[in-house]
Structure 1
């Protein structure tokens, strides 16, 4: 006889096969299916108003996505078309599996920098990296390992984002100056950029600075204009909405204007700008990602050697992708008053990267800037991402020849303005006021990231872990005031980490001559008892026995029998 439980229902089966079928039916119930495929929850309620708002948001985000995708491909060291290859799969997959109406998946500055640091601008390896990252992320979602992201502390995240912004932003100075052949390693890049300033192309410098100034002005215009409803006249509301829309699509407008200028000069035979140049035409082929690569001298690199070359990047990139996207989803869910499923978000990102690798995409994650635009435009469902993806596909199908004339200086200006808000050194002052020790993992992450970004994250996480373990191993033990309980002197000690405290407690007691007759351990924060704890308690009891001190457990969260049976002694236990 077999009994299978589904929530409040208990099913009795006479045959194991029937029980297995019941389990399968339980997993495939409509409720579970909606949890795995969230589109089934909101699609039946879809209406005309939602369609209108999703179309508006999708088009607006699409106009932002195209120029940013081209620019972020430059950060990843890949041909610009790979940015667009990476920008459309997320909209389709996330509309099926995502639980946030606002989040948009695609290439970002941080993921592009991480990708470049791991694959060094090699397209085939970037695509394979996307597949492996997606598999890792999907497995983490299925095993519900999202809690591992909690081990990346806030100082580490801030240190990394600040260093990444400086690295990415300075890396675009060479394109503003029109310089070529600058090393990619940060310190060498800084040296040779300044060393070769006399070689700067005046056309690129002027155009790049004009693009930067225009983008900054449009950013300030957007910050000062409220596109929402107001008691002003209809003309004023329409004007504000128009200004806000223009400022929101500033990247596309600046890139288009710069391209027209470059085309005009080029038509008259004046090649004064560094252009993007030839790009692959049309949509990417749908094919499995390559499992081998060929070097410039014809040497074939096997799958194992490629994966070995990824090194620690294969752990850092999936984690950072998940961390960035989950943080964005939680922020906008809180802002707009709805709930998300963190593990489902992990699954959506993982499947996006897996499927993206079949269309030559490199690893993607949630974009804070484009998600903010999506939310502010009034998107109602994840279907807005489908519209955005359609715009990217149309660009790939019909606009690739026009991308030839995009000046690299204009893309550099777009990138610099996108990463500038990530530099937040005000957080240093906040950490100094709250807990100065947090500056250590921040500084380690920030400085090591200039050497290799993945080393910065690993070093920061390791430093945070050491600080955490130090606090656990050296807890603050306070011996409180003596109380008279049945005429016995008692020292009350608050116990947070048993294993560490058992070494510290004897040192906290007075000398033998003034030793108390009893010690009360406040076990309110002790949730589990394992073999290590039992071993340490045995040693503590041995020391107390020599000093004729009685040990009393107070406010136990575990059964007293778990302790008494394991220690094989008589222990006075008191709950309360």
Structure 2
């Protein structure tokens, strides 16, 4: 399903090339920022049934070591980052020793994540030798890659065999939600880093690559992968600038699985969590809150919803923020601002386009200001800002024309653009009057009023506007 999304033009977004450099692995729950907090406390439930009851916090003495190590790692990462930001540039006239020292400092500060993790692993190994381990370690990692095989389409358990159909039924909506969540996270990561690093990418290419990665990964019993905030942030903080970083990462992972898995045992999880925290913290822009408060306070709503729900799950936060943004957009479409001008004719001008959610708002405005008055007034609808309409809008305009005709008034359209005019002609609406300017609409309304008056007077003939008296470029009658 992820691969299929790569073919759809619906998802033409700017996605970061580093999506593929920061795959989510099975470590993700143990190296996320929240894990640093979870390593220092223990969650317990007051109910005997798993998943029910109140959660409470109970401190464990041996978790203090994780807290101290995590804070020390965060402090070291911060110091190394500040050193890199304040190292002066190298000049050719500098002595050789100074240039070598500069290169050494630059290398150390750029590879600070690896250095800090290695330092934490050495500390943990030192405690392991003494027989006392105050840290929660990564633990044993299986060596090598799993054997390649086609994913099983049935599973045998103690209670019987679960078929592929039963698997699909058991997943239910998750079959669509899981790829959607991965897509939303990838888009969020990509938009954040693409704006920071000023580059453009092909969204379909990225989604296609993620889908192919998952298909090939399924042959090796891989976890589903997608763009990850933490992994992408670590790559960015480490100076990765091109897709070649993905090749380096992949090669190192393969070599590590064959030769270095025994060393992974001593890496403290709190150190990994510290690396993720220090990589993600710069992504949080505190200044945007004040900027949105000054510019448009309504935009703070999706920001706050996304921020708060991300404490529950990042995917749910992104999805909720997207839905809130869509609701705000739909509200502006359904309730467009309508400028009303009084004069010889009542003129209503929508400030934005006219789509089907807005036709009811327009109808209420015309009925309340034109037809519910005594006597009913003729009105003109200024369509200058309307570049296209749909069939629902056409039906709504037809009902309005009938209402005006029954009340003995006219509804004129001003400044119709060619696409809108073509739709109205195709709909074969009767009684639609189109004028180029307001002055022409006022003149046409006077002609209509005169005809109406002559029809009511006995012994008189209705006024027939000929092309000489009412030129075609003055009044264009679409369908009378």
Per the normalisation by structure 1, the TM-score is 0.61
Superimposed CA distance per residue, residues 197-247 of structure 1 (whole angstroms, 9 cap, x where no aligned partner)? 5x3444434333322221221122223236x66576264454334323212
- Is 2:266 the partner of 1:405? yes
Q: Unaligned 5+ residue runs, structure 2?
A: 16-27, 438-480
Deviation at 1:390, TM superposition (A): 1.1
Superimposed CA distance per residue, residues 343-391 of structure 1 (whole angstroms, 9 cap, x where no aligned partner)? 22221222223223333243122654255357x4664xx3443233212
Superimposed CA distance per residue, residues 426-473 of structure 1 (whole angstroms, 9 cap, x where no aligned partner)? 333222222222222333333344445444344333333322222222
Rounded Cα–Cα distance in structure 2 between residues aligned with 1:371 and 1:263? 26
Of residues 414, 426, 430, the one that matches 1:553 is: 414
Match of 1:405, SS state, is coil
- Is 2:72 the partner of 1:207? no
Q: Unaligned 5+ residue runs, structure 1?
A: 1-135, 151-163, 483-487
Correspondence list, 1:42-441, <5 A? 136-147=1-12, 168-175=32-39, 177=40, 191-192=56-57, 195-196=58-59, 199-225=61-87, 233=94, 235=96, 236-291=98-153, 302-305=166-169, 307-308=171-172, 310=174, 313-327=177-191, 330-331=194-195, 334-335=198-199, 339-359=200-220, 360-365=222-227, 367-372=231-236, 376=239, 379=242, 382-441=243-302
Relative distance call for 1:409 and 1:537 in structure 2 (3 A) is same
Contact 2:186 2:226 in 1 (8 A): no
Rounded Cα–Cα distance in structure 2 between residues aligned with 1:417 and 1:188? 31
Residue 491 (structure 1) aligns with: 347
Contact 1:277 1:403 in 2 (8 A): yes
> 1 or 2 for the larger relative contact order (CA 8 Å, sep ≥6)?
1
Larger radius of gyration: 2
Would you say how many aligned residue pairs link Structure 1 and Structure 2?
406
Relative distance call for 1:394 and 1:188 in structure 2 (3 A) is farther
Superimposed CA distance per residue, residues 125-184 of structure 1 (whole angstroms, 9 cap, x where no aligned partner)? xxxxxxxxxxx232122122215899xxxxxxxxxxxxx99x943332232x3x556679
Correspondence list, 1:21-36, <5 A? none
Superimposed CA distance per residue, residues 310-332 of structure 1 (whole angstroms, 9 cap, x where no aligned partner)? 36642542322430354257437
Match of 2:122, SS state, is helix
Rounded Cα–Cα distance in structure 2 between residues aligned with 1:142 and 1:526? 30
Residue 325 (structure 2) aligns with: 464
Superimposed CA distance per residue, residues 79-127 of structure 1 (whole angstroms, 9 cap, x where no aligned partner)? xxxxxxxxxxxxxxxxxxxxxxxxxxxxxxxxxxxxxxxxxxxxxxxxx
Match of 1:271, SS state, is coil
Contact 1:479 1:508 in 2 (8 A): no
Deviation at 1:400, TM superposition (A): 0.4
Deviation at 1:477, TM superposition (A): 0.5
CA RMSD of aligned residues (A): 3.7
Rounded Cα–Cα distance in structure 1 between residues aligned with 2:93 and 2:246? 32
Relative distance call for 1:203 and 1:572 in structure 2 (3 A) is closer
Relative distance call for 1:522 and 1:514 in structure 2 (3 A) is farther
Relative distance call for 1:541 and 1:251 in structure 2 (3 A) is same
Match of 2:434, SS state, is strand
Rounded Cα–Cα distance in structure 1 between residues aligned with 2:288 and 2:160? 48
Rounded Cα–Cα distance in structure 2 between residues aligned with 1:206 and 1:325? 30
Superimposed CA distance per residue, residues 33-86 of structure 1 (whole angstroms, 9 cap, x where no aligned partner)? xxxxxxxxxxxxxxxxxxxxxxxxxxxxxxxxxxxxxxxxxxxxxxxxxxxxxx
Match of 1:145, SS state, is helix
Match of 2:401, SS state, is helix
Residue 105 (structure 1) aligns with: none
Relative distance call for 1:233 and 1:574 in structure 2 (3 A) is farther
Contact 1:541 1:551 in 2 (8 A): no
Per the normalisation by structure 2, the TM-score is 0.72
Relative distance call for 1:245 and 1:364 in structure 2 (3 A) is farther
Rounded Cα–Cα distance in structure 2 between residues aligned with 1:498 and 1:264? 69
Deviation at 1:398, TM superposition (A): 0.6
Rounded Cα–Cα distance in structure 1 between residues aligned with 2:122 and 2:276? 20
Match of 1:396, SS state, is helix
Contact 2:73 2:274 in 1 (8 A): yes
Superimposed CA distance per residue, residues 373-415 of structure 1 (whole angstroms, 9 cap, x where no aligned partner)? 57x4664xx3443233212211111100111112223223223
Relative distance call for 1:244 and 1:525 in structure 2 (3 A) is farther
Rounded Cα–Cα distance in structure 1 between residues aligned with 2:167 and 2:377? 67
Contact 2:14 2:191 in 1 (8 A): no
Relative distance call for 1:331 and 1:355 in structure 2 (3 A) is farther
Going by fraction, where is helix more abundant, 1 or 2?
1
Rounded Cα–Cα distance in structure 2 between residues aligned with 1:429 and 1:481? 40
Residue 52 (structure 1) aligns with: none
